Amino acid sequence: MIKIGGQVLDDEEMLRDVLRRFASLPGKKILVHGGGKHASRMAERLGLKIRLVNGRRVTDAATLQVAQMVYAGLLNTNIVAQLQALQVNALGLTGADGNAIRSVKRPVGEVDFGFVGDVVAVNVAFLQTLLAQNWVPVFCALTHDGHGQILNTNADTIVSELAVALSQRFETELVFTFEKNGVLSDVSDEHSRIPKLTFEQYETLKSNGAFTDGMLPKLENAFRSLRKGVRRVRILHALDLGSLNAEPHPGTILSME
């Protein structure tokens, strides 16, 4: 399970390099991509206002349309076409396709997040059928509620939920990639990479405020996945996808102890 996100999706050349590395990975694989920055730019072009509550985006009907257009329409379709050119038999998916990922609209509490879905079920049998055909599923950050409504779901959450579900039947490794060299103890210093991050270290660093708003949910999802049966979780630079098995290893390997 490979997640690509962040600036990688914004840089056509880097994306092409990353997809080339992804294509060369052996074994069954699934790609999940984000695209929030693209979506924000498109929302701006359409004159939509981004509504943030406590730093989190609220997905109203117009914003959901933009998410669908950008994630499923532009990014997913282009990534699939590029992977096909690399001889990877990719299949672009939202959670609605094959009922792959069902979610429920987040209940309205103090904040109404709008059309945001919390994952309730992953269709492992469906994914197993795709993987058995040597097809490569490529997911964007959309799910459905089973009643006809598409919902916006964080891509880090999607990749984690898929990894946890698949780990019941497969030995599953989860790799978060982005434009940094891994988890950094000092976000402004690319050389402060933490090669191995235990849950205890994570808790300490978190209470010291060492992590950015983008990194925190990634780490939460990562440790949750480890606890729930995913064999190995790593966070690394997208261009290091080609050297996953190198020694010394790139990026950060997370571990419970």
By DSSP bridging, strand 173-178 and strand 2-4 are parallel
Whose tokens are 């606890």? That residue is: 227
| Neighbouring C-beta atoms of residue 106, cutoff 10 Å | 18
Q: Where are the beta strands (DSSP E) in 80-179?
A: 90-93, 101-105, 117-122, 136-139, 142-144, 150-152, 173-178
* Smallest distance from its own copies to CB 82, Å: 4
Residue type, 257: E
Minimum gap (Å) between residue 85 Cβ and its own copies:
4
Q: Which is nearer to its own copies, 21 or 224 (CB)?
A: 21
Of 73-81, 199-207, 226-234, 245-253, the window that binds its own copies (rule: CB under 8 A) is 73-81
Among 96, 116, 230, 241, binds its own copies (CB under 8 A): 96
3-state secondary structure 169-216: CCCCEEEEEECCCCCECCCCCCCCECCEEEHHHHHHHHHCCCCCCCHH
* By CB under 8 A, residue 150 contacts its own copies: yes
Region 10-69 residues binding its own copies, contact defined as CB under 8 A:
45-46, 65, 68-69
Tell me the closest approach of the beta carbon of residue 164 to its own copies, in angstroms: 22
Indicate whether 152 belongs to the interface with its own copies (CB under 8 A): no
Exposure b/e, 194-222, CB count within 10 A at least 16 = b: beebebebbeebeeeebbeeebeebbbbb
Q: Which stretch binds its own copies (CB under 8 A): 24-32, 95-103, 188-196, 238-246?
A: 95-103
Q: Which stretch binds its own copies (CB under 8 A): 139-147, 169-177, 181-189, 212-220?
A: 139-147
> Is 167 a binder of its own copies (CB under 8 A)?
no
Residue 147 makes contact with its own copies by CB under 8 A: yes
Element (H, E) at 53: strand 51-53
Q: Could you say which residues in the range 97-116 bind its own copies, by CB under 8 A?
A: 97-99
Under the binding rule (CB under 8 A), the answer on residue 77 touching its own copies is yes
**197 scored as a contact of its own copies (CB under 8 A):** no
104, 135, 206, 255: residue in contact with its own copies (rule CB under 8 A): 135
Handedness of CA 32, 155, 240, 12 (dihedral sign): positive
* Secondary structure (3-state) at 247: coil
User: Does position 168 bind its own copies by CB under 8 A?
Assistant: no
59 vs 73: CA distance, rounded Å? 18
CB of 157 to its own copies, least distance (A): 19
Return d(Cα 171, Cα 164) in angstroms, integer: 10
Q: Which residues here bind its own copies, judged by CB under 8 A?
A: 45-46, 65, 68-74, 76-78, 80-82, 84-85, 89-94, 96-99, 129, 133, 135, 142, 144, 146-150
